[in-house]
Chains A and B, each alone.
Chain A
Amino acid sequence: MYRYDNYDQTLVDERVAQFRDQVARWKAGELSDDEFRPLRLQNGLYVQRHAPMFRIAVPYGMLAARQLRCLAELGRRYDRGYGHFTTRHNLQFNWPKIEDVPEMLAELAKVQMHAIQTSGNCIRNITTDQFAGVAADEILDPRPLCEIMRQWSTFHPEFAFLPRKFKIAVNGAKEDRALTWFHDIGLHIVKTDDGLVGFRVIVGGGLGRTPIRGEVVREFLPWQDILSYCEAIIRVYNRYGRRDNAYKARIKILVQALGVEEFGRQVEAEWAHLKGGPATITQAEYDRVTAFFEPPAYQTLPAIDEAFVQQQVKSLPFARWVERNVRPHRVPGYASVTLSLKKPGTAPGDVSSEQMEAAADLADRYSFGELRVTHEQNLVLADVEQRRLFDFWQEAKAAGFATPNIGLLTDMIVCPGGDFCDLANARSIPVANAVQARFDDLDYLWDIGDIELNFSGCMNSCGHHHVGNIGILGVDKGNEEWYQITLGGEQGNDAQLGKVIGPSFAAADVPDVIEKIIRFYIAQRQEDERFIDTFRRLGADPFKVAVYGDKARLKAA
């Protein structure tokens, strides 16, 4: 992965000094709370329900074992011994003291980490495919370009005070694993017939209160031009995006108001001045950065390891884990493993300091010392030898990481919700746990198969409920916690928004409702049909009847 040189390190060190000074001036009353707020936000520091929340960037999801050890230590020293991985490749601490944050930043800087632009109305951490560099369907490893974009966006002088937050996702494979259709800018790496590499540029997607699927603003942009083209897009947004209402301030609202053609015309007019300028990425820089992402020193191994096959025959639990949590690798004899942070009964995405250290050790001993954070709030060890998977599994199990549920119902995306978040309408973690408990029978869970259940505690949609096959959203009805269900959302190439099925439910009823939906699916599915395919075939109405009974039937008629 990328390693800082003197320039990168100096910038991060200067950032620590800057924030230390800002905290001191705030404490001395020289900065008002209002003046300090955006400064602390741009260093990942929120003030939440119980305590400040501190969000650390994991750029495009790449994490070295020593960095994870540093996070473990920070969790122990400044928090309550755990952290929370988010959908945007970040790690959040829920209990630090504001006064400690400069010291935490200084510790992070020592392992080439920071919290720069993890919040605030600026360009946020850029996200990508967790299988970048190892996926069989990859067109080009997106990480070098993500790193180049990370550097460009870091302290961008023109775009530190945009109308609203700005999120960019890059996908380099045929299958979209980065939710690119629902970002402010989504980028697909594409190769033309004559071998040119560039991006399809999608703009104006987002979830939140007004979920909108992005639209293509340019079918092909040479990779060298990505920085200047993004500057053109963001400049148009910075100048003309709405600032009168925070809910209407995302770029998606501007794109909708202008129409994507007119928006694209304005971007092209702006870009005409920037194209070919100094921001054009040079081959030398691309090569310099790419060198950090060269494949590690893989062994030459047979494509199928016989012992590994035998171990799966002998141990059903191992075979199940392999089926759900292990993915084929492009290099013969290797596999990519997902460590599940979704053990039923725990808060999805939470990891204790001990677990972070265990994961770091696994990475060191099995996977070249590197890990990736996934937007589904799990960890990936991308380069494990097949022949060592059985040993790996036993160790992962001991550390509580081997729940064989990746892609299954209990592998939910869940935001922190009302237990931690000030903006929440309702709690999400206990209700998610209740649903997990209802589906605790592994055979049943397996029989249900691939399904995404996503859960947000309010309309801000941090839990991506709109794109869950089943989405659960916390709503506030007369000061009580209620839950609205959506069906039919999907990520990937056919990313779509789910639709609300009807009136919301009390917390205690949510597991029943989910069970009704699942039972109906099992009864209706044809052969190996996935939940989402059955849903697409039948439409929402019969599912509504399954949940609401005759009331829905009358309405549907």
Chain B
Amino acid sequence: MTTIIKNRQAVADDYTLLTLAEGDSAETVALPAGPLLVPLAVWQVRKADLQSRGTPVGVWLAAGEGPEAIADDLAALPVVGVHFPKFVDGRGYSTARLLRERHGYQGEIRALGDVLHDQLFLMARCGFDAFALKEGKDIAKAVAAFETFKNPYQAAVDQPQPLFRRRAA
């Protein structure tokens, strides 16, 4: 059990995050029991296995992996993880927007990896609704970040109308 931020609150989470260690292969890596968040490579070769387990399975995308790779599977996925290897690697922001705006994904999009307080506001705007904050960071304090700016300028996932259209109204 870990604690993540979901819908702006700290909640307990029972997904196991599967990662491929040096020497593991997607075909043979052991799959722990219970809800599982697997790397794209594992999903691609063991989709049938995973779906027959009867427990929830989500996929997580590495920073260089795009949503195109799972576009056809999204309806079957309750969670998509997007991994930030370093918080300054901003590819995941585009991934989340594309998942929501291009592919119409309605499930949970979870930020994984180097996920920090000061990026939460931006991530939420791009469509993330769950955040596995980096270890050792203060979740209670971090949730305040969602309120940083009340009326941002651009259209994004959280506010599909840019300010200039709302301002005019």
Contact = CB atoms under 8 A, between A and B. Distances in A.
A39 B168 contact: no
Contacts of B165: 278, 282, 285
B88 A38 contact: yes
B153 A158 contact: no
Interface stretch (A46-54, A147-155, A393-401, A407-415): A147-155
A390 B125 CA distance: 55
A278 B155 contact: yes
A35 B163 CA distance: 30
Interface string B93-125: 110010001100000000000001111011101
Interface string A27-47: 000110001001100000000
Nearest to A279: B155
B102 to A, nearest CB: 6
A239 B82 CA distance: 13
Nearest to A35: B116
B168 A278 contact: no
Interface in A1-43: 5, 7, 10-11, 14-15, 18, 22, 25, 30-31, 35, 38-39
Interface residues of B, number: 39
A158 to B, nearest CB: 4
A238 B153 contact: no
A13 B121 CA distance: 16
B151 A162 contact: no
Contact of B162 (A14, A273, A279, A288): A279
Contacts of A238: 90-91, 93-94
Nearest to B136: A30
A158 B97 contact: yes
Nearest to B164: A285
Most buried by A among B66, B118, B165: B118
B85 to A, nearest CB: 9
A102 to B, nearest CB: 15
B152 interface: yes
Given A14-B148, A273-B102, A161 B90 contact: yes
A279 B152 CA distance: 13
Contact of B149 (A11, A22, A152): A11
Interface string B62-105: 00001000000000000000000001111101100100011000
Contacts of A285: 164-165, 167-168
Contacts of A279: 154-155, 162
A121 interface: yes
A155 B88 contact: no
A478 interface: no
Contact of B125 (A157, A161, A235, A278): A157
A30 B126 CA distance: 25
A285 B150 CA distance: 20
B26 interface: no
B149 A243 contact: no
Given A11-B149, A18-B148, A235 B122 contact: no
B138 interface: yes
Interface in A144-179: 148, 151-152, 154-162
Contacts of B119: 160-161
A157 B165 CA distance: 18
B117 to A, nearest CB: 8
B34 interface: no
Contacts of B101: 273
Contacts of B138: 30
Interface in A265-315: 273, 277-279, 281-282, 284-285, 288
A162 B164 contact: no
A524 B168 CA distance: 61
A403 to B, nearest CB: 41
Nearest to B167: A7
Contact of B90 (A7, A159, A277): A159
Interface string A103-145: 0000000000000000001000000000000000000000000
Given A10-B151, A22-B118, A279-B154, A239 B164 contact: no
A221 to B, nearest CB: 18
A243 B88 CA distance: 10
Contacts of A22: 118
Contact of B153 (A155, A243, A284): A155
Interface in B134-161: 138, 141, 148-156, 160-161
Nearest to B157: A157
Contacts of B148: 14, 18
Given A11-B149, A160-B119, 14 more contacts: A35-B116, A121-B88, A159-B90, A161-B87, A161-B88, A227-B162, A239-B94, A243-B91, A273-B101, A278-B160, A278-B161, A279-B154, A285-B165, A285-B168
25 contacts: A10-B151, A11-B153, A14-B150, A18-B149, A30-B138, A31-B117, A35-B118, A121-B90, A148-B164, A155-B153, A155-B154, A157-B126, A157-B152, A158-B97, A160-B93, A160-B119, A161-B89, A235-B94, A239-B91, A243-B91, A273-B102, A277-B155, A278-B165, A279-B162, A288-B168
Interface of A: 5, 7, 10-11, 14-15, 18, 22, 25, 30-31, 35, 38-39, 121, 148, 151-152, 154-162, 227, 235, 238-239, 243, 273, 277-279, 281-282, 284-285, 288
Give 8 nearest A-B pairs by CB, closest first. A161-B90, A157-B125, A285-B164, A157-B122, A278-B155, A151-B153, A158-B93, A284-B168
